[in-house]
Structure formats: structure tokens, C-alpha cells
Structure 1
Amino acid sequence: TQHQLMRSSLSLGKLTTIFITHLHGDHIYGLPGLLASKTLNKALRPLTLYGPPGIKAFIECSTGSAHSELAYPFEIVEFAPGDTFAFDRFTVSVRPLVHSIESFAFDIKEHDTAGRLDEAKLRSEGLEPSPLYGELKRGRGVVFEGRRFEPGDYLLEPRKGRRVVIAGDNAEPEVLAEALDDLDLLVHESTYTQPVFDALEKKHQHTTALQLGKSAQRHGVKNLIATHISARYGQSGAHSIEEIYNEIAAVYKGRVFIANDFDCFELRRDGTLVKG
């Protein structure tokens, strides 16, 4: 993560929050170096790290052994299943997964926005922008030139917030069933195709493309980003990445992407997911 961040256009100086799904090495070994880099780059904005029990001991041991002194305010929050954290525009809820160690998903819910004023309608009825608009937005009726305007007649429907679930390593997508119904976007591992998994002598606790596609289709997930693909799929592997995509697409009719480093996605208000 540290090296890829340096290759990207993202700035360490703007990093304020990190969420960790579980404590396997491929998900946390880059953290100590990243934390130290923030100091070296004089990126002194406060940083909060959220992770499962044990993340604090790992960070304190690694930074302490290396005598790394972090020159910025740094807080570690160890969460438990069911915890919810509130931010300015959204909440993050922690959901447990099925893996060889504790692993979690983050259910991110954008706040609903209050109904906007139908300004075109107000203007057409003679009420131009003025402090009276503020009264209507606050739910209070107003009188203008002898006529009463009630907020219920001019407030548009509230806009429902978007919702995204980002999952760590997980062997059973259905453990998230409660969170998947009508979900806007699911970001979930798809480590193997089903035939490859079936042929493995030792079964690791990961999800196949077939499992993921079936679960997403069953619950009406609108968009899907598949991550954590085994190295056997790709240019240097014995299998093609298209095998992952095709196995998902055979059973899932929503929009699906296979994630790559540096990919950027926009989840639009209408629910459309667009790759930048």
C-alpha cells in the first residue's frame, strides 16, 4: 500500500482515516511504513486507524521496535461487530465475516439529504428567492403579499443516501445477507473460480466468483466490484482474469468490475457505477 500510494496522485497529507478488515499480513504489513512516511513527508494532519482487536498491539510493537516517532496526532480504535462510527456525511457499521481469523466488512451508509425547495414552482407563483425560502426549508409556513405558502407544497422528496459494503476476506457472502438487499455497491473478494477451488487439496476460506455472483444476484445488488483475485489469474498465471469475470457474469446481471490497483470509481446518485 505504501509503495502504490507513492505511485499514485493521492496525497498522504490528506489521509485522515484508515479502516483495516483483518490482521493477516497481506493486509497490514504495509501500515508501519505508511505511518512513518507521513512523518517524513511532514504530513501532520491527525490520523485515526480503525481495526479489529490486536491492531493496536501490532502497531505499537512495529513502530516501537523501529523507534518510529510519529509527529502527528494518531489514534487507534479497536472495533467489535455491530459497532457504528459516525462521520460528517455517512456512517460506517462493522459486520463480521467468515474467515480463518476474525475478518470484517464495513457497511457505509450516506446520510439522507433533506428535501430541497422547488424554487421553480415558488417563482412561478410569485415568491422570488428571499429569507422566506429559509423558513420554508425549516418547515415553517410563510405569508407573502397576503398569500400563505406551506412547506409541504414546495419541498421535494428527501434524497436517499447511497450505501456501499466493503468486505474483507470472507468464505461465505451470504453471511452479509441482511446488508445486501437492494445494495448500491458491493466490494467483495473473488479469489478463485469454482473449478479451481474445487480442485484445491487444501481449501482456504475464500469466496469463489460463482458464490459471489449468485449471492449478489439473489439480493439485488446493483453494482459489484470483485477484489482479492488469486495470482494464478492474470498475465503470469495459468488462468485468465476473464475467467473470474465470466463466472460472475454468468449468474449476476448487475454491473460488475474486476478491481485493479489505481482504479477509481464513481457511484452516481442514480445508482450507476462508472469507472474513471
Structure 2
Amino acid sequence: MKLTFLGTSAGKPTKERNVSALGLEVDQDNKWYLFDCGEATQHQLLYSHLSIAKLNTIFITHLHGDHYYGLPGLISSKKLDTCFKPLCIYGPVGIRAFLEAAVKISEESLGYKLDIVEFKSGDEFKFDKFSLKVLPLVHSIESFAFSIKEDDITNKIDEEKLRALGVKPSKLYGELKRGNSAQFEGKTLKPKEFMLGATLGRKIIIAGDNSEPDILGDYLQGIDLLVHECTYTQEVFDNLAIKILHTTAKDLGLVAQKRDVKHLIANHINPRFNKSANQDIDLIYDEIKQNYKGKLFIANDFDVYILNRDGLEKS
């Protein structure tokens, strides 16, 4: 799995960070998926390896502008780039009215099929290489996380064992993978004797804005990767005149440690944390690490991460 961060700022863009957007590519898939689409996401794509032509599906976590105001521009540019493959957008109730109004008022003729699916908490969806479940979060409006389970690989054949019998790669391999017995030099080869055990699919959660990470409960337990907002340090949050429903670095670290999260990527960083300010991004990293012993990254725009079977690495 490959994750490309296109926007990592909270609320508004800065000179260093654009607003929320994240691209996900899944192994052995020729398309990619976008999670949130803040203003100017299409501009960010121009500086990444991702292309609108291969974008298949967009998921919106919630209807705050920094997470979906980029949609009208992106769906219009798709047509201008002569990308006429269908596009599906999943979002909370209200996303349909927003998009239909934008298309109608601008008298836009997209030229391709645009499917809009409004989901609710608990809904489950199946895609080519993974399944996805919508989970509720705690925010000032309805906000959601996406729990993603990669499909198990169950058709891996023991080529070494077959070669030892003199069976070279051929149509016979395909028959065994499909669960059919095959004949070789007068012997019956049964599929169960030559199939390797299942490779379990990885589990990740991509969360929208949320003030209580532990609301994800058992879905967090031992997962391979959590992508979660981290808008404030605890000190900054405690000194806010008006409390905003976002996660602090301390709370995120505590919950990730409690739930044995294997890898953690924090994003949605408040603009006050920047290179030219006294409050550097290291403050967030250090506060999380005080409470979380797993592998941690603070995402920057255009960071690319690879989730392999043996761990998470920055590309």
C-alpha cells in the first residue's frame, strides 16, 4: 500500500501545507483512491506522481470546507483532461446537494458518469482489493473514519514444491490456483497439497476530524496503520479560549499505545506549527512519542509512505 499526502494543514492552507487530501494506492491495482479533497487538491496533484486519469473513487470524511471544497474544480478538470472514466464520490449526507448545485449553477457538462453515494455510520462497501467500513467520530459536525481491510491473498501456489516434482510454470499452475486437480506424468496433483497458507490483508484506518481517538475502540486494536489528525499539543489546547473538537498530540499518543497500533501517521496540523514560528512541528512529534512507542511520522505535503508486510517506510 502506498499513501501520498497532498494536504496536511488544519482549517486553512499555509505556505508549507495545503488543506486535507490523501491518495491511497493498493497493491496489484491500476487505480487509486482519494480521501478528502480540500481546496486546490487538483493543484497538489500536479506536483505528485498521481494522475486524475487513474483516480477511481473519492471518500469525504465530513463536510467542513477544508476537506471537500476542492471537489468542483477537480471533477471539472477531469473532463478538461479528457478523462471520461466514471468517478464515484462517497460522502456524508449533503455531499450530493453540494455537487449537484455546483454542476447545475455552472452549467457544467461533465461528459462522464459521476456516481454520488451518501453514507451513514456503519455502512460497509466492497472494492476490488479491499473492504471499507464507515465509523463515527466526535467533532462539531458529523465526521467519520474509514476502516480499510485489504483482501486476504488465498491463491498463492507453492512453486518451489511443484518445481521439485519437475512441474514448470504452465496452465497447470492456473488449474491448481482455481481449486482444480491436474494431471502430471500420470499423477493427480490436488490443489490443497500445493497451495500456501493465506496471506492476511493489512488493516488501516484513515480518520477525519475527531476529538476522541479512542472512540474507534477495538477497530484500532493492533492495526497496521492509523492516519489521524493531530491539530494541537496539549498545552496549546488547554490555553484555547474556545475549545475546538480536535485531537491533541498527548491524547493521540496515549490511545495509539493503549491499542497497540503498529504504525501512526499524524496530519491535519494547526497552522501555528511551522518552520518560521517558535512552535515547530517537533513539539507535536515529541509529545506523541512521550506516550507512544510505535513507529511515528508527522506527515508533510507530498510525503509518500509505503506500508509493506514488514513495516511502514517513508519513500
113, 117, 128: which one aligns with 2:157? 117
Q: Which has the higher helix share?
A: 1
For residues 103-252 of structure 1, what are the structure 2 equivalents within 5 Å?
103-142=143-182, 144-145=184-185, 147-252=187-292
With over 3 angstroms needed to count, the CA separation of the structure-2 counterparts of 1:9 and 1:127, relative to structure 1, is closer
CA distance in 2, matches of 1:38, 1:148: 53
Partner SS for 2:75: helix
Question: Cα offset for 1:16?
Answer: 1.9
CA distance in 2, matches of 1:61, 1:236: 40
Q: Normalising by structure 2, what TM-score?
A: 0.82
Aligned to 1:265: 305
More relative contact order in 1 or in 2 (CA 8 Å, sep 6+)? 2
> Aligned letter for 1:217?
Q
With over 3 angstroms needed to count, the CA separation of the structure-2 counterparts of 1:47 and 1:140, relative to structure 1, is closer
Question: Cα offset for 1:107?
Answer: 0.9
Q: Deviations over 1:179-212 (max 9, x none)?
A: 1111011000000011111111111000011111
> Aligned letter for 2:232?
Y
CA distance in 1, matches of 2:239, 2:271: 16
Aligned to 1:70: 110
Kept in 2, the 8 Å contact 1:186–1:225? The answer is yes
Which is worse superposed, 1-10 or 112-121?
Answer: 1-10
Question: Cα offset for 1:148?
Answer: 4.9
With over 3 angstroms needed to count, the CA separation of the structure-2 counterparts of 1:129 and 1:32, relative to structure 1, is closer
Aligned to 2:140: 100
CA distance in 2, matches of 1:14, 1:148: 44
CA distance in 2, matches of 1:229, 1:101: 19
> Aligned letter for 1:13?
A
56, 59, 75: which one aligns with 2:99? 59
With over 3 angstroms needed to count, the CA separation of the structure-2 counterparts of 1:150 and 1:227, relative to structure 1, is same
CA distance in 2, matches of 1:26, 1:127: 57
Aligned to 2:37: none
Unaligned runs of 5+ in 2: 1-40
Q: Deviations over 1:86-139 (max 9, x none)?
A: 111111111111100000011111100114222212222344444443443344
With over 3 angstroms needed to count, the CA separation of the structure-2 counterparts of 1:246 and 1:140, relative to structure 1, is same
Tell me how large the CA RMSD over aligned residues is.
1.8
Aligned to 1:34: 74
Partner SS for 1:7: coil
Question: Cα offset for 1:145?
Answer: 4.3
Partner SS for 2:228: strand
Question: Cα offset for 1:64?
Answer: 2.2
Question: Cα offset for 1:267?
Answer: 0.7
Question: Cα offset for 1:41?
Answer: 2.3
CA distance in 2, matches of 1:50, 1:238: 39
Q: Which has the higher strand share?
A: 2
Q: How many residues align?
A: 275
CA distance in 1, matches of 2:192, 2:50: 44
> Aligned letter for 2:215?
V
With over 3 angstroms needed to count, the CA separation of the structure-2 counterparts of 1:149 and 1:263, relative to structure 1, is same
Aligned to 1:275: 314
